[in-house]
Amino acid sequence: MNFGFTEEQELLRAEVRKFLDQNAPLERVREIVEAEGGPGTDPALWARMAELGWVGLNMPEAHGGVGLDLETLLVVLEETGRSLFPSPLISTVLAAKAIERFGSEEQQARWIPGLADGSKVGTFAFMERSDTLGAEGVETLAKPDGDELILSGEKRYVTDAAAADLSVVAVRSGSDAQSLSLVVVEKGTAGATAVDYDAMDLTKRIGSLTLEDARVGTDCVLGEQGAAWPAIQWLLDLGAALVTAEAVGAAEAALEITTEFAKERVQFDEQIGKFQGVKHPLADIYVDVESFRSLVYYAIWALDQDADDARVAVSRAKAYCADAFPQAGIMGVQLHGGVGYTWEYDIQLYLKRAKWVRPMFGDADHHYERVALLGDL
């Protein structure tokens, strides 16, 4: 693959960055997430992003999307991560990809247009009380009843749970360990309740989806019933890759903020950035960010191409990021001194984003173990 971006992709990056700088600087981000009882995002900005084609960037043209590849979406994610823009972009892309890749043409026509034009928010619900990414962790049951399924269980750590108009839910539909299905549950379904948690990172909404004898038609099942484990693994990998791509921009911004502070802060009549005790940690952060940037660029490409090593590529990227980004956030706060922990300084916002990124779609331990497993180590 070519690690460089095309001229068109760089123009897109410049356009997205200009848009976010003008409409969603960190002052505005703080207003959005601090608004009591607010949606946690800016619906007008979300609608504008959808009009510009960024929400449906890699959704099928036949259903209202732009039809571009995941590498181009990566450009947008780096910029939304850089600005900590609070939006359900990753959640919606995951739901749309699940429907596009594993749903029928009829299901695509039914749900993707609303996701592509931003009028609907989607999400992917997998995790449960066991807090494991394995098939055995799915306990939510799908019981057949004529041409319907009766769903019972609770999904946890669902991104944008309360905002989602439709959720792609992993359910157990058989006694075999991997007998799982993917079912679309729309908002308003009787017995389905979604709520958001109070989380550390206010720029990312996360919550639970409870299903109590919720009924959905069998036409809401994506692909073959009871055979969705490979599809679910692909979606978990895509989620890990998209979160890591957004983390690249966020980590880069944390480095920039800390570097600027080091140039301005004077101690012992010198800018603190001139001291090796400050320069060397900043250099380490730079190396780490460039390293997991390269890893996730390849992982995104490999997923898009269905390359044989896509799974291990995703795990390499997420494992590195899950360790390095939080460390960059911690070091950024430390280099700010005691004030770095205070709400007034932006660096603490990036540390909280790093803490959110670390466990999402698998922490470092999970992905390093998988690298070893896939590499027959």
What SS3 state is found at 232? helix
pLDDT in tens, 309-318: 999 999 999 9
Determine the pLDDT at residue 319: 98
pLDDT in tens, 119-162: 999 999 999 999 999 999 999 999 999 999 999 999 999 999 99
**How many Å apart are CA 373 and CA 362, to the nearest integer?**
15
Which pTM was predicted? 0.96
Determine the pLDDT at residue 3: 67
**How many Å apart are CA 26 and CA 33, to the nearest integer?**
11
pLDDT confidence band for 84 (50 / 70 / 90): very high
Q: Is the per-residue pLDDT at 56 higher than 80?
A: yes
Query: Which DSSP state fits 180?
Result: E
pLDDT confidence band for 36 (50 / 70 / 90): confident
Q: Which residues contact 231 (CB under 8 A, 6 or more apart)?
A: 98, 101, 102, 182, 222, 223
The closest alpha carbon to 91, from 184, 170, 186, 161, belongs to 161
**How many Å apart are CA 51 and CA 40, to the nearest integer?**
20
pLDDT confidence band for 1 (50 / 70 / 90): low
Determine the pLDDT at residue 198: 85
pLDDT in tens, 40-55: 889 999 999 999 999 9
pLDDT in tens, 248-280: 999 999 999 999 999 998 888 888 888 899 999
Q: Which residues contact 23 (CB under 8 A, 6 or more apart)?
A: 45, 48
Query: What percentage of the chain carries pLDDT values higher than 70?
Result: 99
pLDDT confidence band for 2 (50 / 70 / 90): low
Helix (H) or strand (E) holding 316: helix 310-335
**How many Å apart are CA 279 and CA 273, to the nearest integer?**
6
pLDDT confidence band for 207 (50 / 70 / 90): very high
Task: Tell me what the pLDDT averaged over the chain comes to.
Answer: 95
Contact (CB, 8 A) for 241 and 314? yes
pLDDT, mean of residues 283-289 = 97
DSSP bridge pairs for 215: 150
